[in-house]
A = this chain, B = another copy of it.
Amino acid sequence: MDLNSYLKDRQQRIDAALDRHLPAEDSLPERLHQAVRYSVFAGGKRLRPILMLAACEAVGGDTERVLPAACAIEMIHTYSLIHDDLPAMDDDDFRRGRPTCHKVYGDALAILAGDALLTEAFILLSGMAADTLQAEDACRRAMHIVARCAGSRGMVGGQVVDMESEGKEIDLPTLEYIHTHKTGALILASVQVGALLGGVDEAAYDALTRYAEAAGLAFQVADDILDIVGDQELLGKDVGSDEARGKATYPALLGLTGARQRARDLRDLALESLAEFGEAAEPLRQIAHYIVDRSF
């Protein structure tokens, strides 16, 4: 398979679904919906929803049915970026080369656009009706996973500990707590939900969970490496911005060589967990490679 055309195709399907599911720019309140769409269509790679579709594919599920949940996970990711960028938080003026939401629409509307997106995700998730008890239960469990991974013991919790750790010396366990929560939790939810809605059995679910945990952490290690050696375009934020902000990173704790080794080990762990899967898991395998190899 050609990963680039796979990613491009999935991106387009997800973007089209997001466009269908988000309130129109001219629906009231117009400025709010403009702010929401400005941030959602800011050129994201759609990694999380793509992982969801790929996990569904890996277990032989119907990816069309998963699209609303895939949109939901991207909305939650986008809301987290909008709030993270606020002056009260990371105070970032640019993201992916464009002014951040609050720079264009003001702080108040940015807060509310984030709130709206988080809520919209659950509108979509709870809108997925099913006609058997088993399928309805899978939808409910999917929603539960998303909520738990996004909440105070998931993504929001990671963001809090990240914030509290700024400018402090932290150890590797704390750094891994931050990343398994701040970035890892939503990646884990993406894979688990894709598998669940695809009709996964228990053994495959556990294997895909191990895949997602390893790939999620690998993604963050690679991001930290890119923050040092990468180019700004690939990274979507200023190179060196973590260091400037006094944020702990893997290269800072393990050295560049150590961090690269850790990324490779995590990639291999992700690949091993897919050993029992056939051709259908090829996209997940290639994504694991892609996540890590971009940092070399």
Contact = CB atoms under 8 A, between A and B. Distances in A.
B144 A32 contact: no
Contact of A29 (B31, B122, B164): B164
A275 interface: no
Interface stretch (A133-141, A225-233, A283-291): A133-141
Q: Which size bracket describes the interface of A in this complex?
A: 35 or more
Identical chains bound together, number: 2
A148 B123 contact: yes
A153 B23 contact: yes
A86 B33 CA distance: 21
A79 B156 CA distance: 14
A119 B140 contact: no
A109 B112 CA distance: 16
Nearest to A145: B126
Nearest to A153: B23
A152 B33 contact: yes
Interface of A: 23, 27-29, 31-33, 36, 79, 83, 86, 88-89, 106-109, 111-112, 114-116, 118-120, 122-123, 125-127, 129, 131-133, 136-137, 139-141, 143-144, 146-148, 150-153, 156-157, 159-161, 163-164, 177
